[in-house]
């Protein structure tokens, strides 16, 4: 399976001619990521994880495209694109389904706390083909599963470096790549990723930085 990292939280997976995109948000190269996609997984409603106009445009341009998202996100996309409403699917945590030839399991349920005065929204983490885990904006560790490829939210208003490290150590995936890195400059990114590589390595995780549009086989 080919994994391509886009800016911030967006990732594109390709396998056997099928294309799956996770979290094509407003910080990412959304149109490029969605080009030729067969399915889209959305973790939650924040605009850095879903560029609604871009997703609606892709839905209306491609009759085979399906979108999977938490209830509120799915309802919003259906309202914006009534003609494609039957291809927008609500996802609950703790479920399993197929999306464009990829096997998906869902985990979690809510976004990590930013501040008590900021409402907590629904957030779904997705495990693809028992391999790639995208947690969205949470540090939920999948239960009963050995993750092979972990996507690590490196920096956000809702996390701190210690929590990032505990997440990587807790999952103990053999390999990891960064996501949610769009708010850091080079100095901050090198610092946090250095900690992840050094301490994650003690627990069997090899961390590799991916530049925007860089691809790797997983």
Encode pLDDT of 15-27 as tens digits. Answer: 999 999 999 999 9
Asked whether residue 19 is assigned to any structural domain, the reply reads: yes
φ/ψ of 208, rounded to 5, equals -130, 130
Asked whether residue 124 is assigned to any structural domain, the reply reads: yes
Asked whether residue 188 is assigned to any structural domain, the reply reads: yes
Residues 6 or more apart whose Cβ sits within 8 Å of residue 111: 44, 46, 120, 121, 122, 123, 136, 137, 138, 158
Encode pLDDT of 98-139 as tens digits. Answer: 999 999 999 999 999 999 999 999 999 999 999 999 999 999
Asked whether residue 115 is assigned to any structural domain, the reply reads: yes
Q: What is the pTM of this model?
A: 0.96
* pLDDT higher than 90, residue 63: no
Pick the closest to residue 22 from 155, 95, 123, 167 (CA basis). 123
Pick the closest to residue 153 from 144, 142, 165 (CA basis). 165
CATH number for the domain including 114? 3.60.15.10
Q: Which residue range forms the structural domain that includes residue 61?
A: 2-210
Asked whether residue 216 is assigned to any structural domain, the reply reads: no
Encode pLDDT of 69-80 as tens digits. Answer: 999 999 999 999
Asked whether residue 215 is assigned to any structural domain, the reply reads: no
Number of domains the chain contains: 1
Quote the pLDDT of residue 144: 87
Looking at the DSSP bridge assignments, the partners of residue 122 are 110
Asked whether residue 218 is assigned to any structural domain, the reply reads: no
φ/ψ of 190, rounded to 5, equals -60, -40
Question: What is the arithmetic mean of pLDDT over 51-67?
Answer: 93
Q: Can you point out the beta strands (E) in 88-130?
A: 88-90, 96-99, 102-110, 122-128
Burial of 94 (0-12, 13-18, 19+ CB in 10 A): exposed
Asked whether residue 217 is assigned to any structural domain, the reply reads: no
């Amino acid at each position: 399976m080919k994994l391509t990292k886009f800016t911030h939280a967006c990732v594109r997976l390709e396998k056997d001619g099928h294309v799956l995109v996770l979290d094509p948000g407003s910080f990412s190269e959304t149109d490029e990521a969605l080009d030729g996609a067969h399915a889209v997984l959305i973790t939650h409603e924040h605009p850095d994880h879903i560029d609604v106009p871009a997703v609606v445009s892709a839905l209306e341009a491609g009759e085979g495209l399906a979108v999977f998202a938490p209830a509120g996100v799915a309802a919003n996309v259906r309202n914006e694109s009534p003609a494609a409403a039957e291809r927008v699917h609500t996802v609950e945590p703790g479920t399993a389904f197929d999306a464009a030839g990829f096997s998906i399991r869902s985990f979690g349920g809510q976004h990590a706390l930013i501040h008590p005065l900021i409402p907590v929204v629904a957030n779904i983490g997705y495990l693809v083909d028992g391999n790639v885990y995208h947690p969205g904006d949470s540090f939920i560790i999948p239960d009963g599963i050995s993750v092979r490829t972990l996507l690590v939210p490196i920096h956000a208003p809702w996390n701190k470096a210690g929590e990032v490290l505990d997440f990587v150590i807790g999952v103990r995936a053999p390999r990891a790549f960064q996501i949610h890195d769009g708010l850091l400059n080079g100095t901050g990114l090198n610092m946090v990723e250095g900690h992840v590589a050094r301490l994650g390595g003690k627990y069997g995780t090899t961390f590799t930085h991916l530049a925007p549009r860089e691809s790797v086989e997983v």
